[in-house]
Amino acid sequence: MADLVITASAVTPGSNATIDHGTAGEAITAGQPVYKSSTTNKWMLADTDSATAEARVAKGIALNGAALNQPVAIHKSGDLTMNAVLTKGVAYYLSGTAGGICPVADLASGDYTCLLGIAKSTTVLAVDIVSAGVAI
């Protein structure tokens, strides 16, 4: 498999969502996992095999697209409709592509595991981010 193909215009938080707001530190598209840079205090694309340790731990998923220094809303937990083709019951993780989401089967040796959530249906991800902080 490959990273999820997400329809950015369909990314919608559920009624149980926890949402944060901030400033984009680079171009971000709705549906991409992000982390907050401790240096700039801006949201950046997360990446499971980044050389930067904090980039390997997603803190949420962008709810809207934003260019550098524009406002961005971040979905931190709860149901998230993505209109991607999810498989019900499958765990989805931060991928090795910056801002990507992949199924558990696509994790590779050397990836730092960061669980983003488990699919509740073919379009809804129950977001509950957990990172072990170790590479597989």
In whole angstroms, give the CA distance from residue 23 to residue 13: 19
Domain count within the chain: 1
Q: Going residue by residue through the chain (136 aa), what tens digit of pLDDT does each one get?
A: 589 999 999 999 999 999 999 999 999 999 999 999 999 999 999 999 999 999 999 999 999 999 999 999 999 999 999 987 899 999 999 999 999 999 999 998 889 999 999 999 999 999 999 998 888 8
Say if 3 falls within a structural domain.
Answer: no
Say if 27 falls within a structural domain.
Answer: yes
Domain containing 78 equals: 8-135
Say if 1 falls within a structural domain.
Answer: no
Say if 18 falls within a structural domain.
Answer: yes
Residue 117 contacts by C-beta under 8 Å, 6 or more apart in sequence? 80, 91, 92, 125, 126, 127, 128, 129
Say if 2 falls within a structural domain.
Answer: no
- Which SS3 state, helix, strand or coil, does residue 100 take? coil
CATH number, domain of 126, equals: 2.40.300
